[in-house]
Chain A
Amino acid sequence: MEKIQVNHLDFYYGSHLALSDISIPIREHQITALIGPSGCGKSTFLRCLNRMNDTIRGTRVTGEVLLDGQDIYNRNTGVFELRKRVGMVFQRPNPFPQSIFSNVAFGPRVLGLGNRNELAHIVEESLRGAVLWDEVKDKLHEDAFSLSLGQQQRLCIARAIAVKPEVILMDEPCSALDPIATQHIEELMRALKADYTIVIVTHNMQQAARVSDFTGFFWMGKLVEFDVTKSMFTRPSQKLTEDYITGRAG
């Protein structure tokens, strides 16, 4: 079943057309990977899904992005409500310069979820969800920057799942991490799949092959190919895709 259905999406920075005619289905409880060379528009596309591009002046979107059948660019859809349902993890770990606890409690506090006890419970649950609890349970009130980069990224994931989103967008979540930390995040993604729909942008094709169920290949603002990951990496239907995944293009 499709959690998100994107139909004929065009995206403009000013008058520059950065994405053209993108149509893509995003299946529920599956991991969809978006690959492609730098500047191909995959991150821009990801940010269309929670309207983070709205924060950049002079951008414009046409076409539709249906979340559970409802167009998120429709005037009746509240952007804050949307971002609560579609969480995001960024390329560089960006915890707030606050304690570990307040980082995770940020979302619930902002949305006014829960009293003190419930908040503590939500924080524990989220940190367990991000497989970070055992490492930080004794120092919840220490500065988030005391953690390693890999732990910081898992903290950001815990922060994102604390508000119980339906979809999690990950924008190259491992590009700042070492291989071990990357492995942790990948294992985490597989575990999170049961509860969340995940879209991950990555420049690492092995990563896409390892973790994702579906893969979309972007090239110069266009979606060249979209398929089940296994088929895509074994029998790509487009010449360009084959050249890219075998390293001859890009």
Chain B
Amino acid sequence: MVAQPRAEAAQAGWREFIIEALIRVLGFSTIGFVLLIFLFLLREGVPTFYEVSPSNLFGTHWYPTFDLFGTLPLLLGSALVTVTAILIALPLGVATAVFVREVAPDWAREVLKPLIEVLAGIPSVVLGFFGMHVIAPLIRETLGVPTGLTVFTGGLLLAYMALPTIISVAEDALDAVPKSFRDAGLAMGATQWQTIWRVVVPAARSGITTAVLLGMGRAIGETMAVMMVTGNAARMPFTLDSLFRPARTMTATIAAEMGEVAQGSTHYHALFGIAIILFLLTFLINLVAASTIFKKQRRGGLR
């Protein structure tokens, strides 16, 4: 090796140092911002836990005008809409991923993959608008319910929004299944369908779980479309027909009321309290999703 002149080497070292430091600062600042946001949430939201009595806070009525801050209907509303969305999106998403990865001819895959990405790019307000004016009337008329703005309508739209995430993550999971498994299945005399169903999909199980959890994280945090189509009535979904009645989610509550609330009031703190709950929920879901990804990688290493 030829020795570099010392000055040049020193300069190169300096440049390296600056670039490295810059990258490090940028990287850590992301973490820093998340922490700051969380601290802000805590500062604004924690007061609600001593300003409002627990029995009120976890009660069944959300009427801020009468100092009733029961978050239970909102929690259940979010849960119900999310679960509905996942129940619709899971079979559709996995089936689409299987089709795109395992069955579709090359040209169809070339067309489908970018289309699915476009799907992810549709602004939620546009979807909400579509839901309000196309899906809601359709549901009202076909099911004969008083209003088309229901949990089911919201679930349907959210399913649509969670689909791109579920499809692309599930597709990656299927892609990671070694060809040798497929060969083994086919060589046993299994049909392509049997091989997919009994070998490939089970082998991609952890990745598909991750896909669903990420889709769920996407669905539970979604605001605009949900606010536009779920009717926003904070009622307890205890009757059997709750699926086809309006509900109100945590996100929609915050979005709808934050603009009119007096800063520093109990109501204001309660909204931030909801935000904390929401933050913790999504954090938890993402954590579980991340840990299943980790498991998949370890498993991959064993092969």
Contact = CB atoms under 8 A, between A and B. Distances in A.
Does B bind A? yes
Interface in B171-189: 178, 180-189
A120 interface: no
Given A83-B187, A97-B299, A163-B188, A109 B180 contact: no
A81 B191 CA distance: 10
A96 interface: yes
B184 A94 contact: yes
A96 B199 CA distance: 7
Interface string B179-216: 01111111111110010001100110000000000000
A87 B202 contact: no
A87 B186 CA distance: 10
A92 B202 CA distance: 20
A37 interface: no
For this complex, into which size category does the number of interface residues on chain A fall?
Answer: 20 to 34
Contact of B189 (A96, A98, A107): A107
B303 interface: yes
B230 to A, nearest CB: 40
Given A94-B183, A145-B303, A83 B189 contact: yes
A52 B203 contact: no
A159 B180 CA distance: 14
B302 interface: yes
A55 B195 CA distance: 13
Contact of B183 (A82, A84, A90): A90
A55 B188 contact: no
A87 B202 CA distance: 23
Contact of B198 (A88, A106, A160): A106
B202 A97 contact: yes
B203 A55 contact: no
Contacts of A95: 184
A81 to B, nearest CB: 7
Interface string A168-185: 000000000000000000
6 contacts: A55-B182, A55-B183, A90-B183, A98-B202, A106-B198, A163-B189
Nearest to A80: B189
A110 to B, nearest CB: 5
Nearest to B203: A97
A52 B190 CA distance: 12
Interface in A105-122: 106-107, 109-111
Nearest to B190: A110
A50 interface: yes
A156 interface: yes
A18 to B, nearest CB: 18
A145 B187 CA distance: 20
Nearest to B105: A57
Given A97-B203, A145-B303, A106 B180 contact: no
Contacts of A82: 189
Interface in A46-103: 50, 52, 55, 80-84, 87-88, 90, 92, 94-98
Contacts of A98: 202
A177 B191 CA distance: 30
